[in-house]
Amino acid sequence: MSDRDIPRSGETAPEEALSRRRLVFGGLAAAGVVAATVGTFGRAATAVAARQPLSDKVVVTDPTLCVGCLACEVNCSTWHASVGRSGVPRIRILATPEVKLQTQLASYLPGRTGFSPSTCRQCPTPWCAPNCPTDALRVDPATGDRYISETECIDCGKCEVDCPVEWKGTLARTSLPIDSKRVIRDATNNVYVKCDLCIGRQGGPICVERCPVNVAIRAGYVKSDHLALDLRPSTQEQWEKLV
């Protein structure tokens, strides 16, 4: 198995991950509505929500603590590329001039305000998963991570169509407009990618670990009761807050 198949310290072989068929048909069978919904997988996802484990974690971002240094984007690209996956960043920072930096940071870095990092919300119902024709979009049974196996992805784009959250605005990195779902296409490698919470990486998501504001908060230099990029349980309540 190559690393693009997302190894997880031997815990979860991809074939053991919850597949589309198990998600949809298993769930529908339990709900007793197989005949009524065959051929409308997109709608069927609602019927199977109860069968799907929630993701243990989701990266929650606080724009008022973001100084736009792009460490999250760069490290996301670098780490994923280093393990043989697509180097397209799964977390993006949008330029949002209306967002004001936290007072302590703003007093030190007045020129670095107006940035909003965001990534996949690890939806309680993974809308992106059920329509994947190759079972490339998987739910890790151990952690509930929603991830894409890039070796299985056939670049059809159904996950992108079904993704309910968007990036819309101006990218801080290039100052160019972005209007995209949070499942994004890597046009070089012809695969779709999304935040996989750095599945397989010891220490968890690299963006959370390496954000310099997070480092400063952990060291006590920046006063905040939460991190700029925080890992929190992906509960329904948490998800509704994000939406």
Partner 1 sequence: MKGFEYTRPTSVQEAVQLLSAQNARALGGGTDLLGIMKDALLPTDRVVDLKGIQGLDHIKDDSGTLAIGALARLNDIAASSLVAGKAPALAQAASLVASPQIRNMGTLGGNLAQKVRCWYFRDADRTDCYKRNGSYCYAVLGASDLHAVFDGAACFAVHPSDTATALSALDATVVVAGPKGQRTVPIASFFVGPDTDYLRETVLAPDEIITEVRVLLGAPSVFLKAAPRRSIDFARTSVGAQVIGTNVIQTARIALGAVAPTPHRATKAEAFLEGKSLAPDVIAQAAELAADGAKPLASNAYKIPLIKGLVRQALTALSAR
Q: Which residues bind partner 1 (CB under 8 A)?
A: 67-71, 73-75, 77-78, 108-109, 111-112, 173, 175, 209-210, 212-213, 215-216, 221-222
Q: Which of 22, 3, 193, 156 is nearest to 83 (CA)?
A: 3
Going by the DSSP 8-state scheme, the letter that residue 18 receives in this structure is B
Minimum distance, C-beta of residue 14 to partner 1, in the bound complex (Å): 29
**Between 77 and 224, whose beta carbon lies closer to partner 1?**
77
**Between 69 and 142, whose beta carbon lies closer to partner 1?**
69
DSSP string, 62-104: -GGG-----HHHHHHHHHHHHTTS--S-SSEEEE-TT----HH
**Between 71 and 153, whose beta carbon lies closer to partner 1?**
71
Minimum distance, C-beta of residue 202 to partner 1, in the bound complex (Å): 14
Minimum distance, C-beta of residue 200 to partner 1, in the bound complex (Å): 18
- Taking the CA atoms of 126, 88, 72 and 118 in sequence, report the sign of the dihedral they define: negative
161 vs 15: CA distance, rounded Å: 24
**Between 22 and 173, whose beta carbon lies closer to partner 1?**
173
Going by the DSSP 8-state scheme, the letter that residue 52 receives in this structure is S
Which residues face 229 on adjacent strands? Answer: 61
**Between 7 and 87, whose beta carbon lies closer to partner 1?**
87
Minimum distance, C-beta of residue 213 to partner 1, in the bound complex (Å): 7
Helices (H), the chain: 20-21, 27-31, 34-37, 41-47, 71-82, 103-108, 158-162, 206-210, 212-218, 236-242
Residue with tokens 């499942």: 183
Minimum distance, C-beta of residue 221 to partner 1, in the bound complex (Å): 7
